[in-house]
Structure 1
Amino acid sequence: MKYLFLSAILTLSPFASVAESYDCTTTDFGFGGFVVSRIILAFDAEATVGFAYDAFINEVHKASIPVKFKKWSDNRYQFNWTLKGVKSSNVGTSTLSYKVTLRPQSGTFTLSGVYHGYDNPISGAGTCKLIKK
């Protein structure tokens, strides 16, 4: 099932056209939730484009989304995105903003986020495996 998920994501546009893709596993360090256990990140550093996919993105968009992407160095890439309409048990739907910093050489990443309208911290970190180069 794991490989079916990955192959489906990688063959769907826009992931098929990117240079590198990573499958990331997350540990939640915040108290507010909204940190998924798995994120797929993809980018083309030369074209300065990035994409992300996780359970919340799937809930809202049903596919990967383009994200703001910045290459800080050959070993530090930043992905930013905002999701509107994520289901929340407290208020119906919520708006969430995320920032992920990927360090491919060490296979690690950090995640921080904002649950708009609330003080709940969103933070996590984890490891990433290269799945396409």
Structure 2
Amino acid sequence: MKIINLFSAVLAGTIFSSSIALAQVYVCDITSIKRGGGIASVIVFSVNRDETEITVYDGYIKKYYDRPIEAEISVANPKRYTFKWEVKMSGNTNVFGQDLPGIRYRATYLRAKHTIRVRGFPIGYDNQYSGSGICRIEK
């Protein structure tokens, strides 16, 4: 819970100091399908009032950027938000010593059920990570 509060505080602080004023903040607890794999256990995202901007923050973003980053919105309608972002992992290598350039993520949040499904695609590799979870709206 402590890490969730940290993410929420950082994201909220960034939102209120940026152009995404009056945004809705969502805190999502994620369960990964596979162990050790590329999807953070907590993802926090915010959507501005006009539903034109989304900001994302999680453990990987904290490690490599230390601040929330913008995501690209694919779908924003009364049923769902679908958005994507990329985390570039400078200086990170896999177990074989190969550079991992980053992971491209795609998430879909279902508004009525408050559920999220997240997929991560390591750049330059065929495998993918996935996870799903429940989100709550922060006031």
Q: TM-score, normalised by structure 1?
A: 0.84
How many residues get paired? 132
Q: 2:80 aligns with which of 73, 76, 79?
A: 76
| Structure 1 counterpart of 2:14 | 13
In structure 1, distance between residues paired with 2:13 and 2:4: 14
Structure 1 gaps, min length 5:
none
Aligned-residue CA RMSD in angstroms?
A: 2.3
| Structure 1 counterpart of 2:47 | 43
In 2 relative to 1, CA 95–22 (structure 1 residues): closer, same or farther, beyond 3 Å? Answer: same
| Structure 1 counterpart of 2:68 | 64
Q: 1:52 aligns with which of 56, 67, 85?
A: 56
In 2 relative to 1, CA 64–10 (structure 1 residues): closer, same or farther, beyond 3 Å? Answer: closer
Taking every aligned residue pair, what percent have the same amino acid on both sides?
27
| Structure 1 counterpart of 2:111 | 104
Contact 1:28/1:35 (<8 A) preserved:
yes
Structure 2 gaps, min length 5:
none
Contact 2:105/2:121 (<8 A) preserved:
yes
Cα deviations by residue, 1:86-125 (Å, 9 ceiling, x for unpaired): 6343324431000011112211011112111222221111
In 2 relative to 1, CA 10–33 (structure 1 residues): closer, same or farther, beyond 3 Å? Answer: closer
